[in-house]
Structure formats: C-alpha cells, structure tokens
C-alpha cells in the first residue's frame, strides 16, 4: 500500500480516535445489533441482526453492494463500513448496543472498523475480531499496544481466540463482560454476531 494514496483515510482515523469515549457506567441493554460482511467476487453481503438479551431474533436485515475498496491492512473500514451502513440504514427497529466483526481501538491508530462505525452511528459499540492485528497479550489476557491496554483475548478450549476492544461509548471492562455473557454454551462468537456471520455467508438468499 502506498500510504500517501490513503493519507486522507489515515488522518480520518486519527481524528476519530481522539473522539472515542469510554463509558464505564452500566448500560441498559435490551436490544443488541450485530453486523458482519462476507464477500463473493466483487460483491459484499452484509447481514445485521437485532436480538433481545434472551436471544430472541427481532429483526434481520440483508444488504448487498459492490466492493469499492480492496482489502488494506489497517484500513479495513474503507472496505467494510459502506455495506454495514447500508444494512443499518434499512433497520426498522432501534437497538441499544452494536457489535461489529472487527477491531475497535485495538488498532495501530486506535480506530478500527468498530470505532469508525460506532462513532458514525453514535451508539455504544464493541469490536469483536476473529484475528489479531496488533499488541501483546498479557497473562491476564488483556492486550497492550503502545503502552496502553486496548483489548482482551477470549480463549476457549477447542475454539479460535476472539479479540474484544472498545468501539465507542463503552469501557473495555464492560465490553468484555457483555461479550462473554452473549456467548452461548460452547459457541465461539457472541450469539447476535454468530447469527449475523451465518446470514452474511448465506448470500444465495439475498435479492
């Protein structure tokens, strides 16, 4: 990647990173929305699901769009935010918390996809990523980067690790607590995100 080509995007990340808030007060969570995007050729398929805290499905939204940006490490928001916004704009109901398949502040510029989306929609948002991007994992599973604690690794026997970080308007402590409560039994992903992940891959059902 020629960094100069996307210097505007890097500067945008830095500006948003400075505006991310970390609310450690209890949040009333009745409805949770999760979003995930899958790809086939140059088409992105985004699924957003809204569930209540007992995992009853309230709404499912599917959105298909043409991919506008290639995959660029550190600038994932360019590729994925468009489909996500498209799906969220179609939602008929509201939600109290958003879970994004991607990193939040656990990012070299402290503004990954989840922070960009969370700040843009102005909702408490958690980033739940399926792979590591940066940082060192401590013995207590918290992840440090640039001398700051920015994330947490969830380890589960027989499952690949998950990486939780703040998207916006929530503390890391609360984010980890919420994600752990939303993981059913032996599943790897929090339930709303698990369903969004499955739906996004079932692209043959999309119009």
**Distance of alpha carbon 194 from alpha carbon 186, whole angstroms:** 12
**Distance of alpha carbon 189 from alpha carbon 184, whole angstroms:** 8
In the numeric block, the tokens 């599943």 are attached to 187
DSSP character string of 51-116? EETT--EEEEEEEEEE--S---TT-HHHHHHHHHHHHHHH-SS--SEEEESS-SS-STTS--HHHH
| 36: Cα separation from own chain's centroid | 8
In the numeric block, the tokens 């998950």 are attached to 162
pLDDT for the residue 41: 87
Strand order in the sheet with 142-145: 57-66, 43-52, 31-40, 97-100, 125-129, 162-168, 148-154, 142-145, 136-137
pLDDT class for 4, splitting at 50, 70, 90?
low
Closest CA to 192 of 61, 39, 26, 20: 61
pLDDT in tens, 65-121: 999 999 999 999 999 999 999 999 999 999 999 999 999 999 999 999 999 999 999
Tokens linked to 49: 């699901």
* Residue 153 host element (H or E): strand 148-154
**What angle, rounded to 10 degrees, do the helices at 113-121 and 7-17 form?**
60
**Distance of alpha carbon 144 from alpha carbon 150, whole angstroms:** 6
| 125: Cα separation from own chain's centroid | 7
Closest CA to 197 of 60, 40, 36, 49: 36
pLDDT in tens, 174-204: 999 999 999 999 999 999 999 999 999 986 5
Domains of the chain from N-terminus onward: 3-205 (3.30.2170.10)
pLDDT for the residue 3: 52
pLDDT in tens, 7-64: 999 999 999 999 999 999 988 999 999 999 999 989 999 999 999 999 999 999 999 9
């Amino acid at each position: 990647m020629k960094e100069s080509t996307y210097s505007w995007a890097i500067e945008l990340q830095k500006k948003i990173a400075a505006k991310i808030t970390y609310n450690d007060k209890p949040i009333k969570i009745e409805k949770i929305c999760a979003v995930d995007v899958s790809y086939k050729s140059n088409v992105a398929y985004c699924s957003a699901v809204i569930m209540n805290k007992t995992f009853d499905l309230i709404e499912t939204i599917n959105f298909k769009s043409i991919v506008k940006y290639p995959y660029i490490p550190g600038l994932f928001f360019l590729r994925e935010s468009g489909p996500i916004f498209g799906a969220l704009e179609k939602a008929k109901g509201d939600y109290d918390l958003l879970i994004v398949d991607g990193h939040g502040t656990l990012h070299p510029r402290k503004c990954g996809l989840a922070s960009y989306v969370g700040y843009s929609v102005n909702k408490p948002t958690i980033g739940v990523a399926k792979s590591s991007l940066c940082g060192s994992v401590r013995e207590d599973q918290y992840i440090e980067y640039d001398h700051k604690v920015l994330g947490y690794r969830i380890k589960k026997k027989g499952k690949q690790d998950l990486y939780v970080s703040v998207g916006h308007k929530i503390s890391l402590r609360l984010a980890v607590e919420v994600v752990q409560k939303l993981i059913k039994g032996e599943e790897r992903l929090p339930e709303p995100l698990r369903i969004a992940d499955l739906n996004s891959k079932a692209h043959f059902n999309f119009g």
